Structure 1
């Protein structure tokens, strides 16, 4: 089978990234087919330059397939954007992917250990631990991407054989049926290619002990999977049509370049700017009808309405910012009981304290002095 987009691939083999080779892609595609009707959505959460997913789109029918991709490397991501329908340059952990909205998950994740969170920045990786106690990128991408696959959707998982441990095997047999494992024709990293169909529930009636035992035998080395055939002779894996409704596929940390691209591709965003970005119309400030009481002042400070540049009657200029914080008022009461015992009662009462901080911008000896008004 001749591949259409291999000639568009660029030399991105760097920083531990190695794209899926053309022979493996061609053999995987021979196992996939499309239904007779309906629009398809396919997803690659670590798409590289986008060649593999572009080949899938062409194979399943370019006129009826929408291809979605995420890639962390900037150069590769912008190359993928030129080949695919929708692309995000960013971290998979900062993407909003709609659950059960994609019919095909092409998952060839980065290979390797995750960097330890020694800076206590927050560990969102959950149980991505292999049997040696190390966190693996393969499991991270699996846990973030599989929920986006619709029931009946097809997963193509390409990982090194040594990363298929007991924990990952249990995850796969829990989420998928019709699981088959093959050696990839390219064995530079001892890859395996795993096919599976996502099932609806973990109903005990759907458990396949034989399939689980077969995966565990591969994990232990007792069973050697065969090489992925050049021509698929079994029942094909049919990618289901996409469910109804608008697809959810966005990035929470969009940069200026990607925002500009979205505006260029979808000019109607300008008509919805206030709605999308919740921009409030600017109104001129008006003086209150009466002097502010302490209660009014506290409300204004808490709402962030006391701020900006002000000028005093004697000509001094200040940059001010108001706020409100809560303090505890402590009161201790001593009571003598009828039996002459003494009881001490501590009462803590919340007190909201309005505060205004100002920086003096008036030229002179007090320039840049910080003033606090409570």
Structure 2
């Protein structure tokens, strides 16, 4: 819900192409790997960053997008793109060589008695788990949001080889966004860097940002972040929320549905072999008359095509009743008359009818 609200208030803004080009020149892919964007939009930024890299390496691109239209577009540009909220995803930890993180700028929904955390912080923590040790995080948020103490402390603890940059001048005034680029630390113990924390917490001031945060284009050609070799296939990458399109096929292929269909089929009575108990002539006649044993019967010379038919008619009869005084009362009674007609064809082709 929070991301929907964010779209209503701010709309969808993809990273400008010029900014993507600057970032591309700051990345040095070392070999085969996979990269991830948890809010990938139409997939343009990952496509831009990985297109035209070294011909001898394979870079798989993974994206998640909550908007259906943009997710369909992303499927054209990315190796794997899913239409789902990132909160519903199940993804392997420590697997991607690079994560591009441009989260929604909003509060997450919480219960009345819980404190609502900012999405920028929640997504930073969540998606750092998916980044491999020594992998590169590119984190893009409004400049003043870096001053949030939780965000600043997390970045100062979990990353080294850090660069803090702002959009180049042609786009900064429109977007007011900055980049944090860093390498994820490995191991359980991660040393906190107070200098990074202090710098980030001062970014609430626009004056500080303009004076102390380097425009990204000024760093091009002076430094690069090495994106490490890693897996090109992420085996665990799916959403817990199944799309409606998959329901139909899933139901059709389920064992329960197949059993239901078998039980729903019209049944035909097939008689063959020896009956469980001997049948009286009257019972056989009823089976023939009702059509229950229409069809082919017997074997060899006794192989016949048999059809039974019950003919029902109304018959009126007079009943005489002698009264106590000796007089006679005549009463007409209508009864139902049932007759059995059986036709069969002999192996020689002769048609016989039994009435």
TM range (shorter): 0.5 to 0.7
Q: Higher helix fraction: Structure 1 or Structure 2?
A: 2
Match of 1:22 among 17, 23, 39: 17
Match of 1:55 among 45, 48, 66: 48
Residue 42 (structure 1) aligned with residue 25 (structure 2): no
Q: Deviations over 1:69-104 (max 9, x none)?
A: 000011011100111110110110100111011001
Residue 147 (structure 1) aligned with residue 129 (structure 2): yes
Assess, with a 3 A threshold, how the Cα gap between structure 1 residues 104 and 55 changes in structure 2: closer, same or farther. same
Where structure 1 has 5 or more consecutive residues not aligned to the other structure, the ranges are 1-11, 124-128, 264-268, 286-374
Give the aligned partner of residue 268 of structure 2: none
Match of 1:97 among 71, 91, 98: 91
What is the CA–CA distance in structure 1 between the aligned matches of 2:225 and 2:24, rounded to whole Å? 10
CA contact (8 A) 2:143 2:178 kept: yes
How far is 1:199 from its partner? 0.4
How far is 1:232 from its partner? 1.6
Q: Deviations over 1:265-296 (max 9, x none)?
A: xxxx9xxx98xx898985999xxxxxxxxxxx
Secondary structure of the 2:217 match is coil
What is the CA–CA distance in structure 1 between the aligned matches of 2:117 and 2:106, rounded to whole Å? 9
Assess, with a 3 A threshold, how the Cα gap between structure 1 residues 84 and 167 changes in structure 2: closer, same or farther. same
How far is 1:144 from its partner? 2.0
Assess, with a 3 A threshold, how the Cα gap between structure 1 residues 57 and 13 changes in structure 2: closer, same or farther. farther
How far is 1:115 from its partner? 4.1
What is the CA–CA distance in structure 2 between the aligned matches of 1:16 and 1:198, rounded to whole Å? 31
Give the aligned partner of residue 369 of structure 1: none
Secondary structure of the 1:192 match is strand
Match of 2:193 among 202, 208, 217: 208
Match of 1:176 among 140, 150, 159: 159
Tell me the TM-score normalized by structure 1. 0.58
Count of paired positions = 248
Assess, with a 3 A threshold, how the Cα gap between structure 1 residues 21 and 13 changes in structure 2: closer, same or farther. farther
What is the CA–CA distance in structure 1 between the aligned matches of 2:218 and 2:201, rounded to whole Å? 26
Residue 32 (structure 1) aligned with residue 27 (structure 2): yes
What is the CA–CA distance in structure 1 between the aligned matches of 2:247 and 2:29, rounded to whole Å? 33
CA contact (8 A) 1:27 1:230 kept: no
How far is 1:155 from its partner? 0.5
**Which range is displaced more, 251-260 or 188-197?**
251-260
Where structure 2 has 5 or more consecutive residues not aligned to the other structure, the ranges are 1-6, 264-355
**Which has the higher Rg, Structure 1 or Structure 2?**
2
Residue 248 (structure 1) aligned with residue 243 (structure 2): no
| Superposition map of 1:156-235 within 5 A | 156-164=138-146, 165-185=148-168, 186-187=171-172, 188-201=174-187, 203=189, 206-219=191-204, 224-229=212-217, 232-235=220-223
Give the aligned partner of residue 65 of structure 1: 59
| Superposition map of 1:73-92 within 5 A | 73-92=67-86
What is the CA–CA distance in structure 2 between the aligned matches of 1:70 and 1:244, rounded to whole Å? 17
How far is 1:142 from its partner? 1.4
Q: Deviations over 1:160-204 (max 9, x none)?
A: 012111110101111111111111122223101110100013536
Aligned-residue CA RMSD (Å):
3.4
What is the CA–CA distance in structure 2 between the aligned matches of 1:75 and 1:182, rounded to whole Å? 32
